[in-house]
Amino acid sequence: MPTLLTEAKLSERDAAFAQELGFSTIRWQLTYDRIIDKVSSREVQSIEPILLNGIRLGVHQLLQMRVPAHASLNETVNLIRQACGEKVVGFANGVLRRVSEKSFEQWLEAITDGLTSQVEILSLRFSHPEWIVRALQQSLKSDGMEDDLADLLGSNNTPALVTMIALPGLSDRDEFLNEGALTTYMSPYGFVLDSGNPSEIAEVRSGKVRVQDEGSQIAALALVTSREIQGEEEWLDMCAGPGGKAALLAALARANGAKLEANEIQEHRAELVRKALRPFPEVTVTTKDGRDIGDTTPNYFDRILLDAPCTGLGALRRRPEARWRKSAEDLKSLVELQFELLQSAYHALKPGGLLLYVTCSPHLSETTAVISRAIKELGVSVLDLTAELNEQYFSGSLPKERKTVQLYTHRDGTDCMFMALLTK
């Protein structure tokens, strides 16, 4: 989308409109398809994709944007005429006019009428695949928050504000706060833009300021501030792509006399890491298989960040397409990879060192289940990260019944990051 917007040379207002239209149509795809099914003479799966996408765009404008109904109809029909030809215009026009006869809330009632499964109802009302609804339900239940499921699903459909980080030693967030930016609640280096394009900020272009969710900022900070730094420590970011956490770690390493290695196995992502680390030429960027690092450098690193590949269910508000790209079948291979990487990181950790295991997912299979297996098979020790973060960043708001930390978008205003601080 950023590339398309740049190529189109749209004004800021039109770019915002295009982004809302594109992202939110993808976000609400499941719900819109069920609505289209109610009024169409053809089943949704039989409608050719370009035509269907055009209709979906029109449905979003009609039901959830402030565009007048006649303008939504005319512009969408003209777009479909241009993209698909005249022969389907009548069909598209008929579907959209039928959709326009009810409000969004009335359609939600219509498509869930008669359903008895709460999971299926929530799936349609909030446009999440049922397996994701169940996963979030189980995660919340494990924290005694099962009544929050609708709130969490709703937060995934609310576009996130743009959260930034002023990298310590390179930039000062107070300058942005003085210019009207909003402060972050937990991170001492974060701020929030309520409007504007971050890429137009000079310090963003130079790499001194970055777009980064506050949960990600806290994850990097948790590894560094949980214990006083002793001398010239060796740090590793094992799965560093695309480089956001690595940049913050690099700034903190420079300030504290530590040495950082940023590793990313995929070359195109490693290139993103190099770009993120342009202000830090002293950082070594490698492209090793993280599963081998424990064998090649055993008992070597003082601190390791393992931001493991995961389903990304914790960032659905930022990546609206992610809910359709992943499936429950992806979990088995991902969870095995997560454990293999954790095992390698544990072997690479010095005795007494700190290892932070992170996923941007609240799915229990990717979070507490991995840690439970590591306790059983590797003998890892789990430190009380909840107590540490409550004292330093969260002012006691995290639930104290657990040592690991699960952030939730609707409660904490961050992506749903999971963090476990380990040692040996």
* Three-class DSSP labels, 138-202: HHHHHCCCHHHHHHHHHHHCCCCCEEEEECCCCCCHHHHHHCCCEECCCCCCEEEECCCCHHHCH
| Largest Cα–Cα separation, the chain | 73
Name the DSSP letter for residue 46.
G
Alpha-carbon span 349 to 183, nearest angstrom: 35
Position 357: which residue type?
Y
CA distance 373 to 377: 6
Q: Supply 346's token pair.
A: 């544990």
DSSP reduced 3-state for 351:
strand
Q: Which two tokens stand for residue 376?
A: 């059983």
Q: How far apart are the first and last CA of the chain?
A: 44
Q: Which of 239, 310, 360, 416 is catalytic?
A: 360
Taken in order 100, 102, 105, 110, the sign of the CA dihedral is negative
360 is catalytic: yes
* Cis amide bond preceding 188, omega within 30: no
- Report yes or no: 31 and 121 within 8 Å, Cβ to Cβ: no
Give the C-alpha separation, 205 to 57, whole Å: 33
**Tokens 């001194």 sit on residue:** 208
Q: Which sequence positions are flagged as catalytic? A: 360
